[in-house]
Chains A and B, each alone.
Chain A
Amino acid sequence: MSHDSHHAPVACKTELAPERSDLGLYRPDRATGWTDWLTTVDHKKIGILYGAFAMLYFLIGGVEALAIRTQLARPDNDFVTARMYNQLFTMHGTTMIFLGVMPLSAAFFNFLVPLQVGARDVAFPRLNAFSLWTFVFGAFVLNASWLFEFGHLAGWFDSFAWHKALVYTDFAPANGWFSYAPLSGTFGANGQALRFTGVGTDFWIIGIQVLGIASLAASFNFICTIINMRAKGMTMMRLPVFTWMALVTSVLIILAFPAITVALIELMFDRAFGANFFNPSAGGQPVLWQHLFWIFGHPEVYILVLPAMGIVSEVLPTFSGKSLFGYPIIVFSGAVIGFLGFAVWSHHMFTTGLGPVPTAAFSLLTMAIAVPTGVKIFNWLGTIWGGRIRFTPPMVLALGFIWMFMCGGFSGVMHSSAPADSQQQDSYFVIAHFHYVLLGGVLLGLMAGLYFWFPKIFGRMPNAPVAYLGSALVILGFNLAFGPMHYLGLAGQPRRTHTYHAGNGWETWNYVATIGAYILGIGVVIVFGNLVWTAFRGKKCGSDPWDGRTLEWSLPSPVPEYNFAQAPVVATRDAFFEHKHGAKKIGLENDGGEAGVHMPSQSWMPMVASAGFLFIGFGMPMMAMGIPHAGWLVISGLGVLFLGIWLWALEGPGGYMLKTPAPSGAPAPAETVAH
């Protein structure tokens, strides 16, 4: 195929009509409505979809959390059963980590990375859509376990033979978010594959596996985008810090997820085919699961927190009116955190009997990771020092992030000492610690990001008083809910216990924590509700309402679908701020742009391919349930997956041209141009 014919569809496209691919398949270019959202390859729309789904799952995970707190409000309570409680905390943790924080970070990566590096899209737009839909279907599979659980509780399955034959009737996962084997695995002699739990675990295994594929695909995409698609002059040390953290996070995902992938496959083999990786009675090693899980699980913590750190590193300079203090060392400490993150996993396992030497080594390494983390806090402090702090909702949330994250970091230093940790591990002290890091830290950071970039995303400004009210309730409720848990843990209350007797001295503070949780819930609803309202009805605002520093603020709001009409040429860090106030202006690359902007064609194929995971995700647990012929569902899922990828490969590059806007002033309305 010659170069010319390869690009034929681009040149031939002459009107606003659906495109046909090389195979004659329909490509819904410039479609509107549902079709547009389902087939979009635009990183901004994909980012918005990621964000919308993440907020939905935050809501679901939040309801699960409130059910947990309601149950624990009083001793000997029976608001939910023991099993339901175990399912609630398992799904709460899994949902918040994999379906809440990670996709919300992915939403920011998607929306911002191409804008911050001066690119028109990510490196592989269709792969990006594939990541999104794979995440959506994986999340659905995981939560479908609830549907089966409620069906079971309602008695829908009682008359089926397969249901009567089940030994365990838990349909939603109930092992905790780290699903320790052998509770999640098998026991009994070689090949017997007797289990401790029901098909909820199978839903969990396949759900996490699918979500891992989504994360991996997205990470490759971001790494390629950041390395290869930077604007001229945007050297690595001129990258905005958020993009740097996106890069580090993506590398972490690529290095960490293979470990969990292997662990999940082994666990699946144990359960489905009687392998003995983790079965102690047949010579397997349960501790192997813990090593594999945590060598993923600890970097995962940094996968969750680094994007929020990146956001805060953008928000603080903007509202301090000062460039980021210690840019190189902030970037370097982010990378060091990522690197050291792989060297501390066994601090989750101090009580498993590692022996004194490994325990000491992991203790010291864990203390060491406090240094680059502290460096970040010092540099944020240095950033606001000597600045002119403007208080806005994102700034207040970012300052809240520093406080809460600092508290979480300090209790983390306490855990790093293994002898102290032996009293704290698996107690409410740990719950307090990681909620200070992940909720007080990460969620506040992400909220700061939402309020910061929402005017860019939708061209509308969130209502500030409502934002302050919501933020105040979040911070108040959060501290009321999780502050007392430090005490409860030190008073000996273990985590993951669905009830406790009166008389242990835990009654008062559990009650207080529950009140705090409800206040927090109200606050989160206000903060998110304000955003949803803003997206549709908010007050319109200009393209640069905060006096922004990075390239995205140089674009109109909302951002046109091609981002940059002409590629920018960057001469410094904080390029747009320097452009406005300093001597170093942003140049425009002359790409001889008379032909217009080359836009990628939209496609159904990423979603079709990911839909295969939906079939597989339902089929595997249904096989474990013993539903007849469920195996065909898995096989057809594989078929759909391969068909989707095959058609995707063959549908050709596609693409169409948009007219270049006027070189100066506001960009002209985009039009399709004839050739």
Chain B
Amino acid sequence: MFSRILSRVGLLAALSLAFIMAGCSKEEMTVRQSTLDPKGPVAQVQFDVFMDTVWLVVVLFALVGGMLVYAVIKFRSRPGDEDKPVIVEDGHGNPLIEIGLITASIGALVIIAIPTLSAIWYTDDVPAAAVPTSKLSAWYPRVEGTRENYAQTVEEQVLEVDVIGKQWWFRFEYPQLGMTNDAKHSVPNELVIPKGKAVRINLRSEDVIHSFWVPKIAGKVDLMPGRKNHMWIQADQTGHYYGQCAEFCGDSHAYMLFRVEVLEPADFAKWVQKQKADAAPVAAGSAAEKGKALFAAKSCVMCHNVGGHFGAGAFGPDLTHVASRKSLAGAWLDNRDVAKQRALEQSTGNTENSVPVDEAKLKANLIKWIGSSGVAHGADGKLSKDVKPGNRMHYYKMFNVAGLRETNQQFTAEELDHLAEYLLTLK
């Protein structure tokens, strides 16, 4: 009877294995944050080491698991066993078998230890071999007006990006290119890097521990407050990549996402130029002009920088080009048409393809995000639902400075519309 049960269990196991194998479709292996679809050398090396461990483990599993199944079936008690003499033995084991198995285990581990060691050093910092093609002088074009902070000593370096983690968003700075928060040229939440070039990432945190993870480009490294961590990345295919904070960092940890945009090197240089340009003046008498006034009146200006308009804010994300970005609020709100994006991904089989920003969606997101401070436009007078619980725009009490919600900052629907119209001009 038991062998019948066992054979059924075996059948079930085989079926579920087939089921799992069937599940291994290409689509499932290449989802947005898949670690199984490396698009750069760092992720590739990490993937290769992972596959080494997978093959080793599969072989071991088949061997040990097979032995176990065999032993359980072969040595099950059978009718009539009761009459046989009891096995009484004081011998405990067989030294030859033991030593053999221990040696074999150590040998198996050496197989994965060697690629592991080489990958640890390879992924630690930009390899010397990558410098000649990746150093700034090799690819960054000499465009007038973009190299004022691009010192001679930097020519031989690869591009460096400072990643600063905060509850709950990322700030990206390019110190070699004069794009820092101090210089009022930082980039929130959407990191832009050139294709095929090694980039050194310096990881810093301003509050708790965060972790920088873009699975298709590189495994994660933590942002430790009070500590200077680094990593390097390189993406060999242009497109829109998805990343996420991977270390629990408080209430809204799940909302701390970010994106990486990989551009052709020439496009990257143009992008830098655009980032460093000030915002265009708003048209007189427009809704945007009223919004601009509200931006100052409602204390947005205290935390947010808008190049050419307001220069006081340094704590919150730089909004000079907010309308050009595909995401908002720590990349939790997507400024694209999600249905179109899904359709594009499915038709091309590539999640790195992206539809452009949808202005209507962006505006709705801006109103939703700012308005979640508890607006007056709800008919029942209730506070609107938090987009990001605990976010510092709405909740800031811990520094004895009150956030919008804590000071019960009210916005009418019209005010929100004006603010959004203003922000929409910041391309």
A381 contacts which of B68, B227, B390 (Cβ < 8 Å)?
A: B68
Q: Is B116 within 8 A of A505, CB to CB?
A: no
Can you list, as one digit per residue, whether each of A352-392 has a CB less than 8 Å from chain B (1) or not (0)?
11011001100110011011001101110110111111110
**Residues from chain A with Cβ under 8 Å of B75 in the complex:** 320, 384-389
The segment from B97-105, B140-148, B171-179 found at the interface with A is B97-105
Given the contacts A385-B75, A403-B68, A573-B90, A353 and B227 also touching, CB distance less than 8 Å: yes
**Residues from chain B with Cβ under 8 Å of A176 in the complex:** 248
In the complex, A390→B2 CA distance in Å?
Answer: 10
Interface size bracket, A side: 35 or more
In the complex, A178→B134 CA distance in Å?
Answer: 40
Q: Shortest 3 CB-CB distances between A and B: which pairs?
A: A492-B33, A422-B219, A505-B31
Q: Is B208 within 8 A of A183, CB to CB?
A: yes
User: Counting CB contacts under 8 A, is A487 at the interface?
Assistant: yes
User: Counting CB contacts under 8 A, is A243 at the interface?
Assistant: no
Within 8 A of A (CB), among B77-104: 77-78, 81, 84, 86-94, 97-98, 101-102
User: Counting CB contacts under 8 A, is A86 at the interface?
Assistant: yes
In the complex, A426→B251 CA distance in Å?
Answer: 17
The segment from B192-200, B238-246, B312-320, B364-372 found at the interface with A is B238-246
B116 contacts which of A187, A321, A417 (Cβ < 8 Å)?
A: A417
User: Counting CB contacts under 8 A, is B106 at the interface?
Assistant: yes
Q: Would you mind naming 7 contact pairs between A and B with Cβ atoms under 8 Å apart?
A: A196-B250, A367-B109, A367-B113, A381-B64, A388-B87, A419-B119, A503-B341
Given the contacts A356-B120, A504-B33, A573-B92, A426 and B220 also touching, CB distance less than 8 Å: yes
Q: Is A490 within 8 A of B34, CB to CB?
A: yes
Q: Is A581 within 8 A of B88, CB to CB?
A: yes
User: Counting CB contacts under 8 A, is B181 at the interface?
Assistant: no
Q: Is A328 within 8 A of B93, CB to CB?
A: yes
In the complex, A581→B213 CA distance in Å?
Answer: 62
The segment from A205-213, A248-256, A281-289 found at the interface with B is A281-289
A500 contacts which of B60, B77, B254 (Cβ < 8 Å)?
A: B254
**B398 to nearest A CB, angstroms?**
5
Q: Is A377 within 8 A of B64, CB to CB?
A: yes
Given the contacts A167-B397, A573-B90, A498 and B254 also touching, CB distance less than 8 Å: yes
Can you list, as one digit per residue, whether each of A407-431 has a CB less than 8 Å from chain B (1) or not (0)?
1001101101111111111110000
**B119 to nearest A CB, angstroms?**
4
**Residues from chain A with Cβ under 8 Å of B229 in the complex:** 352-353
Q: Is B342 within 8 A of A419, CB to CB?
A: no
B221 contacts which of A197, A353, A402 (Cβ < 8 Å)?
A: A353
Q: Is A180 within 8 A of B65, CB to CB?
A: no
User: Counting CB contacts under 8 A, is B413 at the interface?
Assistant: no
Q: Is B251 within 8 A of A494, CB to CB?
A: no
Can you list, as one digit per residue, whether each of A481-500 has a CB less than 8 Å from chain B (1) or not (0)?
00100010011111111111
With an 8 Å Cβ cutoff, the count of chain B residues facing the other chain is: 105
A371 contacts which of B106, B222, B398 (Cβ < 8 Å)?
A: B106
Given the contacts A356-B124, A423-B35, A505-B27, A328 and B92 also touching, CB distance less than 8 Å: yes
Given the contacts A286-B224, A420-B49, A506-B31, A414 and B54 also touching, CB distance less than 8 Å: yes
**Residues from chain B with Cβ under 8 Å of A320 in the complex:** 75
B222 contacts which of A353, A386, A410, A578 (Cβ < 8 Å)?
A: A353
Q: Is A419 within 8 A of B77, CB to CB?
A: no
Q: Is B98 within 8 A of A363, CB to CB?
A: no
User: Counting CB contacts under 8 A, is B76 at the interface?
Assistant: yes
**B12 to nearest A CB, angstroms?**
9
**Chain A residue with the shortest CB-CB distance to B61:** A410
**B37 to nearest A CB, angstroms?**
10
In the complex, A389→B90 CA distance in Å?
Answer: 19
**Residues from chain B with Cβ under 8 Å of A285 in the complex:** 226-227
Q: Is A391 within 8 A of B61, CB to CB?
A: no
**Chain B residue with the shortest CB-CB distance to A390:** B77
**B241 to nearest A CB, angstroms?**
11
Within 8 A of B (CB), among A290-337: 320-329
Can you list, as one digit per residue, whether each of B204-224 has a CB less than 8 Å from chain A (1) or not (0)?
000111010101001111101
**Residues from chain B with Cβ under 8 Å of A399 in the complex:** 68, 72
Q: Is B246 within 8 A of A371, CB to CB?
A: no
User: Counting CB contacts under 8 A, is A533 at the interface?
Assistant: no
User: Counting CB contacts under 8 A, is A604 at the interface?
Assistant: no
**A329 to nearest B CB, angstroms?**
5
In the complex, A635→B299 CA distance in Å?
Answer: 47
Q: Is B254 within 8 A of A82, CB to CB?
A: yes
In the complex, A350→B364 CA distance in Å?
Answer: 41
In the complex, A27→B120 CA distance in Å?
Answer: 64
Given the contacts A183-B249, A352-B224, A419-B119, A326 and B98 also touching, CB distance less than 8 Å: yes
Within 8 A of B (CB), among A524-552: none
Q: Known pairs A370-B109, A382-B93, A504-B33; list 11 more (Cβ under 8 Å).
A: A196-B207, A287-B224, A321-B87, A352-B224, A385-B75, A413-B53, A419-B46, A420-B53, A422-B46, A425-B246, A490-B34
Q: Is A423 within 8 A of B220, CB to CB?
A: yes
Q: Is A194 within 8 A of B119, CB to CB?
A: no
**Chain A residue with the shortest CB-CB distance to B389:** A82
Q: Is B342 within 8 A of A503, CB to CB?
A: yes
**Chain A residue with the shortest CB-CB distance to B100:** A378
In the complex, A324→B90 CA distance in Å?
Answer: 10
In the complex, A586→B208 CA distance in Å?
Answer: 62
Q: Is A426 within 8 A of B34, CB to CB?
A: no
In the complex, A35→B86 CA distance in Å?
Answer: 46
Given the contacts A363-B116, A374-B105, A389-B76, A182 and B225 also touching, CB distance less than 8 Å: yes
Looking at B61, B102, B245, B248, the one whose CB has the most chain A CB atoms below 10 A away is B248
Q: Is B398 within 8 A of A194, CB to CB?
A: yes
Looking at A391, A419, A503, the one whose CB has the most chain B CB atoms below 10 A away is A419
**Residues from chain A with Cβ under 8 Å of B67 in the complex:** 381
User: Counting CB contacts under 8 A, is B301 at the interface?
Assistant: no
**A520 to nearest B CB, angstroms?**
16
User: Counting CB contacts under 8 A, is B284 at the interface?
Assistant: no
User: Counting CB contacts under 8 A, is B253 at the interface?
Assistant: yes
User: Counting CB contacts under 8 A, is B247 at the interface?
Assistant: yes
In the complex, A426→B223 CA distance in Å?
Answer: 14
**Residues from chain A with Cβ under 8 Å of B94 in the complex:** 325-326, 382
User: Counting CB contacts under 8 A, is A116 at the interface?
Assistant: no
Given the contacts A351-B211, A423-B35, A492-B33, A402 and B68 also touching, CB distance less than 8 Å: yes
Q: Is A359 within 8 A of B120, CB to CB?
A: yes
A492 contacts which of B35, B64, B86 (Cβ < 8 Å)?
A: B35
Can you list, as one digit per residue, whether each of A19-63 has a CB less than 8 Å from chain B (1) or not (0)?
000000000000000000000000000000000000000000000
User: Counting CB contacts under 8 A, is A6 at the interface?
Assistant: no
Given the contacts A353-B222, A353-B227, A497 and B250 also touching, CB distance less than 8 Å: no
